Amino acid sequence: MDGLPLRLLQPHEYDADRNLGAYVDGVLVGAALGCPPGGCHVCEHVDPRRSPTEPAERDEWAFEVNTAAAHADQGSHAWVSRLVVDPALKGSGIGRALIAGALDLFGPDDQPVRVLLECQPHRESLYLGYGFTRVRTFPDPGQPDCLLMRLDLERSGGVGAPDQVGRAALR
């Protein structure tokens, strides 16, 4: 979708969050939620020793603990924690625009950035098409095992360089 308006959204939980909303005719139709390099809130704020008392919150906490463990050997990284698009608009390019927009927020053009995200197995091909690679699987309570995906953005050649993976490839 050419000219799709993307706007920064207020941080969801932490001030370092970088969240984008996609709008069609002024209506929010998609969002990308994430954290910049070195600010992954699942790695910094999830305490594996403090299970929530509410049963409804335990699966999300367990997923976040598993996610933090999956991230542990990945070094400094940005994190796309959620990518959502109105199902009626699937295939319209909104997800692609949101991923490209999120990558634009993750740091200066001249610095390499590692970007992580998690997805269900049926969405793997979508992210492989964006240049992400599968790192590993890990347990997702109540769901199929989750996939940890990684994209290493090498930006030293500038956007559009032949070895560039990421932003330019998504446009």
Structural domains of the chain in order of their starting residue, each with its CATH number:
6-170 (3.40.630.30)
| Confidence category of residue 159, pLDDT binned at 50, 70, 90 | very low
Total-model pTM:
0.81
Give me the residue label for tokens 């699966």.
59
Least confident piece of the model among 27-36, 102-111, 120-129: 102-111
Give me the residue label for tokens 């969405």.
123
Burial degree of 131 (CB within 10 A; 0-12, 13-18, 19+): buried
Average pLDDT of span 42-70: 92
Query: What is the signed CA dihedral for 85, 90, 92, 94, rounded to 10 degrees?
Result: 20
Q: Is pLDDT above 50 for 115?
A: yes
DSSP bridge partners of 35:
79
**What pLDDT, on the 0 to 100 scale, is given for residue 107?**
63
Q: Identify which has the larger pLDDT, 136 or 21.
A: 136
Average pLDDT of span 55-83: 92
